[in-house]
Structure 1
Amino acid sequence: MRRSIVHMDLDTFFVSCERLNNSQLEGIPLIIGGGDRGVVSSCSYEARRFGVRSAMPTAMALKLCPQAKVIKGDMERYSQLSHLVTEVIQEKAPIVEKASIDEFYLDITGMDRFHGCYQWTNDLAQRVLKETGLPISFALSINKTVSKIGTGEGKPKGHLDIPEDQVRNFLNPLSIQKIPMVGDVTFQLLSRIGIRTIKTLSEMPAEVLQRMIGKNGVEIWKKANGIDNNPVEPYTERKAISSEHTFTQDTIDIVHLKSILSGMVEKLAFQLRSEEWLTSTIVVKIRYSNFDTETRQCKIAYTSADHLLTKKVLGLFDLLYQRRMRLRLVGIRFSGLVRGTYQIDLFEDTEEMLSLYAAMDKMKSRYGYDSVMRCAGASLKPNSKDIILKRKS
């Protein structure tokens, strides 16, 4: 059966959220992000016309567009609106995958027997706009890759239908940069040998591409040819990762306990970033020497940043640990996961902070997690058998 896959993406989500609160922001160049030494988390289309882009240093963005208004941003508010949009979509769609805080995949295969798939999706987009006030673009096609590229081409407020017999005509003239997985390095490598359009890339032998760029070569070749059999994975808030540490001797040493917790957060946060997850719920668990177990949790704005998560975890621990008995175990659980990269929520961070995260993660990925650690988590012994990482679904 021919698949019907929809990709939906909220238009300049952070900007749209701010304009919901303040209509005077409509039509003006808008930058969401940090101060002069911070980075751009999002920007309006009016600002993009001047060359402003996400992840650009704010100072550079203001040189390109000095008339832009800079707003710090409110991730808690954005997270709430993201949950609201998710509820609207899940209420109507049979299978929904929440790919990030502001984008979704829907599998509506077979629905054309009862409704026109395009009209049904268009009605859903209008429902999202009516119930949340947020504009959303979509593309309907045969798989996730083509739909995602289509949404990008149609934004803002684009509603595209790309039937199977039009996929090649749609993809062929586009830049290879439009293909998911083709980053700057791959683009530069292929450009040097004259491969700049998807059509040219699709005509290369897959094995040649694999020899050039490694294991992802075949996958990129498939995408260039409109081939993508990846399923839409139903979204659930129950996905989680967790870590527990059982002490060899029960302890009441607060400094040691907090150091262990900090190290656990750092390890879990690195796992989140490595797999491109953001968390919205934190649970801290303690087990006393008499085996009494207590937990405390809180909802947070989506993040995967160590320093934000550590602050929340230690705050929960302070609220939780009141009996001053010895502890035999501490645990942390991050749940409510959605796809996303950690840059989007670092509104207060400088370019240097983002660079530090990138450098540390690169070293950990290359030389192992224990190759570089923060001093606060140094009590967590490298390669400790007490550390248990789990994925729940």
Structure 2
Amino acid sequence: MERAIVHMDLDTFFVSCERRNNSQLNGIPLIIGGGDRGVVASCSYEARKFGVRSAMPIRMALRLCPDAKVIRGDHEMYSNLSHLVTEIIQNKVPVMEKASIDEFYLDLSGMDKFFGCYQWTEEIAASILKETGLPISFALSANKTVSKIGTGEAKPGRMEIKLQEIKPFLDPLSVKKIPMVGDKTFQLLSRVGIRTIHTLSEMPLLVLQQMIGENGRELWKKANGIDENPVIPYSERKSISTERTFTSDTMDIVELKRLLAGMAEQLAYQLRKEKWLTSTVAVKIRYANFDTETKQCKVAYTSADHTLSRVALDLFNKAYTRRMRLRLIGLRFTGLVHGNHQMNLFEDTEEQMSLYQTMDYLKNRFGSDAVGRASGFDFGK
């Protein structure tokens, strides 16, 4: 049976959410992001015409498009609308994967015998627009890779790439259109003259593996329109946590705060690695007499450990009110949304983004304890 895989992507999601609530923002260059030292979280198509892009420093974006209106953004509204879109899609399709806060994969394989898959997807998109006011683009094809590339080419709009059309569709496109190709891989391929998907698809597999490594085979398959990866049914993780029970009860405040900061860093790294963002932080302490105190608070969606560590330490100060020894300390992040670093762009500076990318690269390569913030290390041992 021929697979029918749809990729759906909400158009300029944060911008569309703001325009949904304020029609005066329609048609003007709009930037969603942090302050003067922050970066662009999202921007309208009007701003993109001037060269503005996500993750670009706000100051640079305003130099390119000085008439743009900058809005800080409403994290809670974006999350609520994302959940609403998720529910609409889940109620209409047999299998749905939520790839991020604003994009989805649908497996409609076999549904064409009852209802045309493309027409069905159009009706889902129409329902989303009617019920939420949010426009959404999509592409239908035989696998996830081709449908995702198709959505990128169609935005804002929609398209279908049939099985016999896959190679003619992919061949002239830049290799950067393949989802797994980042800047470093693109530069490596460009140096040997591989700039289009067609050229990449004709590379001997062995040569490509020698150049790229273990990802060479997967890259070659994607260039040839081959992708067997399934659509993974969506289920949202509820929480992520850790705790430490001491062998000897302690009231060493410096050590307790160092431990808590280290917990926050490790959990934040796990969030980023698994592409989660948290909206609630909770700290638990247990006294030597087994009395337990828990304090929690809401935060803007994030996976940044400098933010989460600061909040955790504030909660610890509120929870630890007795001059008694502690036998346990714990940290939990809840209210998770499955997404990527995009939401963090509201609070990150360019320097912070570069720092996290470097730290995560080192942790991924050498282990989660390979590098960390000084506040999380015990230099006395």
Given the two structures, how large is their TM-score scaled by the length of structure 1? 0.88
Give the distance between the partners of 1:379 and 1:149, measured in 2 at CA. Answer: 47
1:359 aligns with 2:358: yes
1:270 aligns with 2:274: no
- 1:222 match: 221
Q: Could you say what secondary structure the match of 1:140 adopts?
A: strand
Whether the 8 Å CA contact 1:263–1:379 is kept in 2: the answer is no
Q: Which has the larger displacement, 352-361 or 165-174?
A: 352-361
The code of the aligned residue for 1:227 comes to I
Q: Which has the larger displacement, 279-288 or 4-13?
A: 279-288
Taking a change above 3 Å as real, the CA distance of residues 215 and 145 of structure 1, as seen in their structure-2 partners, is same
The code of the aligned residue for 1:74 comes to D
Q: Could you say what secondary structure the match of 1:28 adopts?
A: coil
Give the distance between the partners of 1:81 and 1:381, measured in 2 at CA. Answer: 48
Aligned counterparts, 1:140-219, within 5 A: 140-156=140-156, 158-219=157-218
Q: Could you say what secondary structure the match of 1:370 adopts?
A: coil
CA RMSD between the two structures: 2.5
- 1:112 match: 112
- 2:126 match: 126
- 1:73 match: 73
Give the distance between the partners of 1:318 and 1:306, measured in 2 at CA. Answer: 18
Q: Which has the larger displacement, 269-278 or 282-291?
A: 282-291
Give the aligned length: 381
Taking a change above 3 Å as real, the CA distance of residues 244 and 4 of structure 1, as seen in their structure-2 partners, is same
- 1:13 match: 13
- 1:390 match: none
Whether the 8 Å CA contact 2:34–2:40 is kept in 1: the answer is yes
What is the deviation of 1:177?
Answer: 0.8
Query: Deviation digits for residues 171-225 of structure 1, max 9, x if unmatched?
Result: 1121111001111121122222222211121111222111111111111111111
Q: Could you say what secondary structure the match of 1:346 adopts?
A: helix
Taking a change above 3 Å as real, the CA distance of residues 197 and 298 of structure 1, as seen in their structure-2 partners, is same
Whether the 8 Å CA contact 1:98–1:338 is kept in 2: the answer is no
What is the deviation of 1:296?
Answer: 5.6
Where in structure 1 are there 5+ consecutive unaligned residues?
383-393
What is the deviation of 1:167?
Answer: 1.4
Aligned counterparts, 1:87-106, within 5 A: 87-106=87-106
What is the deviation of 1:258?
Answer: 3.0
Give the distance between the partners of 1:104 and 1:323, measured in 2 at CA. Answer: 49
Whether the 8 Å CA contact 1:260–1:380 is kept in 2: the answer is no
Give the distance between the partners of 1:201 and 1:103, measured in 2 at CA. Answer: 27
Give the distance between the partners of 1:172 and 1:153, measured in 2 at CA. Answer: 13
Give the distance between the partners of 2:271 and 2:198, measured in 1 at CA. Answer: 35
Query: Deviation digits for residues 279-328 of structure 1, max 9, x if unmatched?
Result: 34444444443556565655544321112222443454455556765432
Give the distance between the partners of 1:204 and 1:27, measured in 2 at CA. Answer: 44
Whether the 8 Å CA contact 2:55–2:345 is kept in 1: the answer is no
Q: Could you say what secondary structure the match of 2:306 adopts?
A: helix
- 1:245 match: 244
The code of the aligned residue for 1:30 comes to L
Whether the 8 Å CA contact 1:101–1:339 is kept in 2: the answer is yes
The code of the aligned residue for 1:224 comes to A
- 1:261 match: 260
Whether the 8 Å CA contact 1:259–1:380 is kept in 2: the answer is no
Give the distance between the partners of 1:21 and 1:354, measured in 2 at CA. Answer: 30
Q: Which has the larger displacement, 118-127 or 293-302?
A: 293-302
Whether the 8 Å CA contact 2:17–2:134 is kept in 1: the answer is yes
Q: Which has the larger displacement, 46-55 or 185-194?
A: 185-194
Taking a change above 3 Å as real, the CA distance of residues 108 and 316 of structure 1, as seen in their structure-2 partners, is farther
- 1:3 match: 3
1:344 aligns with 2:343: yes
Whether the 8 Å CA contact 1:76–1:300 is kept in 2: the answer is no
Give the distance between the partners of 1:134 and 1:175, measured in 2 at CA. Answer: 29
- 1:30 match: 30
Taking a change above 3 Å as real, the CA distance of residues 308 and 346 of structure 1, as seen in their structure-2 partners, is farther
Where in structure 2 are there 5+ consecutive unaligned residues?
none
Give the distance between the partners of 1:380 and 1:267, measured in 2 at CA. Answer: 18
Give the distance between the partners of 1:221 and 1:338, measured in 2 at CA. Answer: 32
Whether the 8 Å CA contact 1:62–1:68 is kept in 2: the answer is yes
Give the distance between the partners of 1:259 and 1:238, measured in 2 at CA. Answer: 28
Whether the 8 Å CA contact 2:209–2:216 is kept in 1: the answer is yes
Aligned counterparts, 1:318-337, within 5 A: 318=317, 320-321=319-320, 326-335=325-334, 337=336
The code of the aligned residue for 1:256 comes to E
Q: Which has the larger displacement, 347-356 or 195-204?
A: 347-356
Taking a change above 3 Å as real, the CA distance of residues 378 and 152 of structure 1, as seen in their structure-2 partners, is same
Aligned counterparts, 1:275-294, within 5 A: 275-291=274-290
The code of the aligned residue for 2:186 comes to F
Q: Could you say what secondary structure the match of 1:230 adopts?
A: coil
Give the distance between the partners of 1:231 and 1:241, measured in 2 at CA. Answer: 26
